[in-house]
Amino acid sequence: MLEQAYGHTSHALSLPPKWLNQYGDFIIKNSSAVSQIESALRSLTYIIPGRFRDAEIASETVHSSVQLLSLYHDSLLARAIARFPGAKPHASPHTRYTRFWTQKSPTYRRLALILQMIQHTQLLWEMVAKRRGDQTRWRVVVMLEMVKALCRLLLLRLTNSRPLLSPPLPEREDPSSSEEPASAPPTSEEEDLVFGEKSNSSSDDARWTMPRTGLSLPTLPQSSDISSYLLSKVMTADDVKPPKALLHRVTGKGELAEMLYIIRPVLYALAMQHWRGDRRSWRPWLMGVSVEYGARQLAKKDFQERVTGGLRGLTGLEREELKKRGWALGWWTMRGAFYENITKAWIHAVTTKLKNKPLLDLLGGVVEDYEFLWDEYYFSTATL
């Protein structure tokens, strides 16, 4: 009886890993379809707010759940690609850099994962905390900003004072989009799994198998796409650089600028908490904008002085990150006193003009529904 009971228990304990393995195989085989489903679910959350009572919490719960599930899917696909180094798709500089640090430092990987999980769930935490009072809400906001800032400061230390990227984890790679290496045809079940989707979707007449070796040659592009195909194969200076060299180390003024950029959300959240009774006060807004813009200008000045060629000597990855941070400054028009005193009235004027007009009325309704989030929640316009 004891042996039988033990056998049933062992079988029950072995089921979850088996289900997880089957789920992982499904995700790898159907990575493109899974990405489309995730995008559809995210799009659904954009039209839920304002449709029924507590809709914002329901919408954000779905959105946060999809984002967390996407992180798990990313890890599954990354592990699948890592098993076959010769079959990796051409990775972007961002992916090469972040993959290097996640593989080199388990601490970096854990901190980056914690940071991403907080960013995906922070608005939901704020919504739940707001139900217990405005004071509790701002305590939660400040606490989350402090935790994120601590993670970023530790990441800055782990990368030897290199600027942080957003996001800090590698971007998703699709195994089905990778090119099969001509030197090693798929011979194992795992290779069939990774490239199964591509093999099934390719027509027999578009591929040619060499009769003696059995190797398959890659498909050729259409005549109209030859130029873009050849350009995609050209290697740039960044492609041959080691991953660490894709970002310059920052010292002195540059390191100070990066630290100011990291702690800016904490300072702004503390200021908003202090002056929460006066939503039209310009003091928190001016302080937040000044710190972020000042950090940006200080970083650019440091690059001009230290990097050969100034800003033109920056790597593509550094220019891309600077551009992201520049666009993020635009979100200050949706925050604090600027939103309360200027943007809000402009949005009301636009939505009023869109009313009673075909299709445009629907767009105006969605904007009005999102006004509630911009009015009530700090993290609805957070960019860091």
Q: Which of 230, 228, 216, 221 is nearest to 185 (CA)?
A: 216
Residue type at position 249: R
- Residue/partner pairs of 92-95 with CB below 8 Å, 24 or more apart: 92/171, 93/238, 93/246, 93/315, 93/316, 93/317, 93/320, 94/165, 94/170, 94/171, 94/317, 94/320, 95/170, 95/171, 95/173
Instruction: Find the length of the chain.
Output: 384
DSSP letter string over 92-155? Answer: -HHHHHHHHHHHH-HHHHHHHHHHHHHHHHHHHHHHHHHTT-HHHHHHHHHHHHHHHHHHHHHH
Per-residue pLDDT reduced to its tens digit, 72-95: 888 888 877 777 655 455 778 999
Q: How confident is the model at residue 52 (pLDDT cuts 50, 70, 90)?
A: low
303-361, pLDDT tens digit by residue?
A: 998 888 888 889 999 999 999 999 999 999 999 999 999 999 998 888 888 887 777 77
Map tokens 């949706």 to a residue: 334
- Residue 102 CA to residue 88 CA, distance in Å, equals 17
Distance CA 188, CA 198 (A): 16
Residues of the chain with pLDDT > 70, as a percent, come to: 74
Find how far residue 366's CA is from the centre of its chain. 24
Q: What is the pTM of this model?
A: 0.80
Q: Please give the Cα distance from 314 to 201 (Å, whole number).
A: 40
Inter-residue contact 26 to 75 (CB < 8 Å):
no
Of 12-16, 34-38, 314-318, minimum mean pLDDT range? 12-16
* Mean local confidence (pLDDT), 256-282: 94
Break the chain into its structural domains and give their ranges.
Answer: 19-89, 93-172+243-331
CB contact set of 51 (below 8 Å; sequence gap of 6+): 369
Biggest CA–CA distance in the chain, Å, is: 79
- What contacts 263, CB < 8 A, 6 or more positions away? 149
Round the average pLDDT of the chain to a whole number and report it: 80
CB atoms within 10 A of CB 195: 21
pLDDT in tens, 184-212: 444 444 444 444 444 444 444 456 666 76
Spell 282-319 as b/e; 16+ CB within 10 A means b. Answer: eebbebbbebbeebbebbbebbeebbeeeeeebbbbbe
26-63: b (≥16 Cβ within 10 Å) or e = ebbbebeebbeebeebeeebeebbbeeeeebbebbbbb
Q: Are 169 and 98 in contact (CB under 8 A)?
A: yes
